[in-house]
Copies of this chain bind each other. A is one copy, B any other.
């Protein structure tokens, strides 16, 4: 189309013309930008996609035009041409709203200033069509990638299906169950061992642990970290001090009641999450005992509940938000295996509040 290069003045006039005639009614397309700039659509496309094969001057002129007429490339059209969408998916099954929303926020923050948007989808492993539903979803939407939260992230069959479907994914998991480029490890084991280290540093030697749901790897990892710490601190762990829970408040209550009924009850309890720690507090109060005077309690997660119970919980805070953000960066990176570009997520940090103290002699 362009017989000769347009002058700056001609371009400004073209912009003005466009603004006068269209603006309010119709959105600008790549064609509009091309015509105003006096170049082909190819060139505009190259600029949108940061191709180096464009003269700097041309790039500058075009960018100004784009800015002025408020052109936004159509993600659907780009997606159609690219054979994938500009959507990434968050697949979640985790029942805790704080976890899900924190992660979601981190993902959204990671998506800021990218061309991608987030579509969310709860998934239930118990659903008989679980795998094929997700596959249909991923293929229909031509997702650029998906982020898997615990405990979906721990499902090897899911990961395998995604690989076969050619869909990139990031698993967020407490254990290293995939290649570096496909996973972000959350260090639950380290967090739990810190919890136990802290209790032992306070002088406790009778420390019990309330386990989480057995179908969550985090339960296993937290227990492992707890065990490692006790071993390192030469603290004996009677099997009665390990009691089952399922991450709910109620299970924390009943588990604690079991512990209190023991011939030698513990002087400290590490609950695998805050929810159960709150339940523990409840059981202890019902038993007429005081926290932390009679019994110290440590939770895990530092979710909101940790500060709304009394006493407020000593607990471990995971960088969930940052995990989500990192997951996006890794997912959208061309070189996700590059270790140095993606540092490990920091370990959980201990937050000390009023639910712990040295044991009363």
> Could you tell me which A residues sit within 8 Å of B by CB distance?
27, 70, 72, 74-77, 79-80, 85, 87, 97-98, 100-102, 104-105, 108, 117-122, 136, 139-142, 249, 275, 278-279, 282, 285, 304-305, 307-310
Asked whether, in the complex, the Cβ of A76 is within 8 Å of the Cβ of B142, the reply is: yes
A41 → B minimal CB distance (Å): 16
Asked whether, in the complex, the Cβ of B98 is within 8 Å of the Cβ of A142, the reply is: no
Q: How far is A141 from B78 in the complex, measured between Cα atoms in Å?
A: 12
Chain A at the B interface: SS class: helix
Residue in B105, B122, B141, B285 whose beta carbon sits within 8 Å of that of A122 in the complex? B105
Asked whether, in the complex, the Cβ of A117 is within 8 Å of the Cβ of B98, the reply is: no
Q: How far is A249 from B308 in the complex, measured between Cα atoms in Å?
A: 7
A236 → B minimal CB distance (Å): 33
Q: How far is A222 from B76 in the complex, measured between Cα atoms in Å?
A: 43
Q: How far is A275 from B307 in the complex, measured between Cα atoms in Å?
A: 11
Q: How far is A140 from B74 in the complex, measured between Cα atoms in Å?
A: 6
A145 → B minimal CB distance (Å): 15
Residue in B97, B117, B119, B139 whose beta carbon sits within 8 Å of that of A101 in the complex? B97
A97-B98, A119-B118, A142-B76 known; A285 vs B310 contact (CB < 8 Å): yes
Asked whether, in the complex, the Cβ of B139 is within 8 Å of the Cβ of A72, the reply is: yes
Residues of the B chain whose Cβ atoms lie less than 8 Å from the Cβ of A117? 119, 121, 141
| Max chain B Cβ within 10 angstroms of own Cβ: one of A27, A80, A101, A118 | A101
Asked whether, in the complex, the Cβ of A139 is within 8 Å of the Cβ of B27, the reply is: yes
